[in-house]
Structure 1
Amino acid sequence: MGASESHEKLQSQQPQPQSQHVQHQQPQPQLHEPTRRRESSLLPPDQGNTKASKDRTKAVVDNNATMMPVKSLKGLPIPHNYEHILKSNADSPVDKSLLDKLYAGVFLDHKTKKYWVEKKSNGNCFMLYARALSITWAENPNYWKWVQHKEESGSMIELAKLKMVCWLEVNGKFGTGMLSPGILYQVSFIVMLKDSAQGWELPINVRLVLPGGKKQQHKENLMEKSRESWIEILVGEFVASEKDVGEMEISMYEHEGGMWKTGLVIEGVAIKPKN
């Protein structure tokens, strides 16, 4: 099969932008959907099972460690909602060594997320890795490839590596009740552009929709970004509040220009206090 014939075959498989009046006839893009969990927490489906919850806690905490109530973490107040995030009972004593690990980070939901505490603000931080996001065409090997990546800590995570798409769409959701109230947060996509990246002449769109429907949206020109290094694409900022708790939506997309894009690697979405 020649190069032009292969290119035409891929184009026929992937939906192209159409005018608004025929949009209802457009084929539905294939999505990689993350495992859906209850919006109010990061708890697994068996959260109501007391025995299962205790078993998970024992797996994390050293059985030989002295269990004790902790009122502070290295002189700071305990992080907001940390027991709930770590899937332990709110009234259960937690080993202090486990709290210390929060500065380094704790994986959640089968390494699709990470939770850590920033020392400066004592604020909760989260990373939603690529597997926790909905990426159009991500499970089609013609367009995306899932690759293993070793973090600085030595732990392995999965990255989404773009091979070729004209329809770029990445979405994520997160419950703001896990964030520390009163702290100014920034939400960013963490991505890398390879030297071979092409098709980014048109700016991409990034959007943050907060609980209640307030939107922050702008365009980013990836042609101006550095190559072969991780970069943060700021999506939006907001102050976490206990009075306005709900699910926020994070998006990155470009599918109006019809240009074939290559060479993008997605690590995930970072949600952390603004420095």
Structure 2
Amino acid sequence: MEMMKKKSFNLPEDCLAMILSLTSPGDVCRLSSVSSIFQLTSNSSALWRKFLPPDYESIIARSNNPSQLLDLPLKKVYSSLCRYPILIDNGYKSFWLNRLTGKKCYMLSARALTIVWGSTPMYWKWTSIYHPKSRFSEVARLRDVCWLEIKGKIDVKALSPSTHYAAYFVFTLERSAYGLKNQPVKVTMGLAGSGESITRVVYLDVETPERLGNFPEEPFLGQPFGDFMVPPILADGGGLEYRMDRSDGWWEVKIGEFKVDLEEGELEMRLTQLGGHWKRGLAVQGIEIRPR
């Protein structure tokens, strides 16, 4: 054992860095915490250059203050991008890295999305003062629409190759919200113009009798069964999917999943609710795309 330690110490730093680069950022952190040999190598710029995306410099250059990050050692660049998302493209997108894998993550702000009637003040309001706080300068607030349609696109070249991604609609509902409770919302995800996409049904605002403690305030879309109502069934035969809480105070609901195995094309995500009734009180922060 002692002989192995001595031989390891004699290995050049770039050789040790190459060995560590075949693992993952999470493995490097674990190894450096139990081995002084790997702890010294874990600061190597050559190592962290392997874990950072090849185009990380050009992405950072699209932020407001790129030198703040680019002047740091590469290990700190990686750590910062994992902990603190940066705003790019005039503040319309957010970029960060998955801490354990180094895969790219994005959020498209409401301003980066195509919102039907979004530029009409009668139907949508844009505000910079909102709670919970958004990472972007503005969020979109739904005043009143009958036709709810929101679409986002991202170039697949911006994503990490050979990676399974999921997209999430990030939103919240105001106290004055109506027209969305127990209403099915169609979400679609696929390559733009390919004719191939996956469509499913989600619910932004659902309260079951079990969650309320008694009957819903609004009619449920399921079929009556005894003294309660049977929840709606998704198109794929699965059970009802609820919105999920996020650590930033917002909610999210999954739009779909996509495996990046192409070099060209645009990934398109769409959310629609065309039920013929009026809706209000929806606040949109954006669409988040992150590794599954």
Do they superpose with TM above 0.5?
Answer: yes
Deviation at 1:112, TM superposition (A): 0.7
Structure 1: stretches of 5+ with no match in the other structure: 1-68, 89-93
Determine the structure 2 residue equivalent to 1:232: 252
Letter in 2 for 1:237: E
Determine the structure 2 residue equivalent to 1:271: 289
1:194 pairs with 146, 161, 174, which one?
Answer: 174
Cα pair 1:81 1:178 within 8 Å, conserved: no
Cα pair 2:96 2:105 within 8 Å, conserved: yes
Q: Report which of the two structures shows the higher radius of gyration computed on alpha carbons.
A: 2
Structure with the largest fraction of strand: 1
Cα pair 1:207 1:215 within 8 Å, conserved: yes
CA offset digits 1:14-42 (Å, max 9, x no partner): xxxxxxxxxxxxxxxxxxxxxxxxxxxxx
Determine the structure 2 residue equivalent to 1:130: 110
1:237 partner SS: strand
Determine the structure 1 residue equivalent to 2:143: 163
CA distance in 2, matches of 1:248, 1:227: 23
CA distance in 1, matches of 2:281, 2:186: 17
The answer to which of 225-234 and 104-113 deviates more is 225-234
Deviation at 1:85, TM superposition (A): 2.2
For 1:85-164, list aligned pairs within 5 A: 85-87=59-61, 94-95=70-71, 96=73, 98-103=77-82, 104-149=84-129, 157-164=137-144
Normalising to structure 2: TM-score of the pair?
0.60
CA distance in 2, matches of 1:170, 1:183: 25
1:246 pairs with 256, 265, 272, which one?
Answer: 265
CA distance in 2, matches of 1:151, 1:204: 24
Deviation at 1:135, TM superposition (A): 0.6
Deviation at 1:84, TM superposition (A): 3.1
CA distance in 2, matches of 1:227, 1:238: 20
1:71 partner SS: helix
Letter in 1 for 2:53: P
Provide closer, same or farther for how the CA distance between residues 254 and 158 of structure 1 changes in structure 2, counting only shifts above 3 A: same
RMSD of aligned residue pairs (Cα, Å) = 2.8
CA distance in 2, matches of 1:108, 1:77: 21
Normalising to structure 1: TM-score of the pair?
0.64
Q: Percent identity?
A: 32
Deviation at 1:142, TM superposition (A): 1.1
For 1:1-150, list aligned pairs within 5 A: 70-73=45-48, 77-87=51-61, 94-95=70-71, 96=73, 98-103=77-82, 104-149=84-129
CA distance in 2, matches of 1:198, 1:126: 30
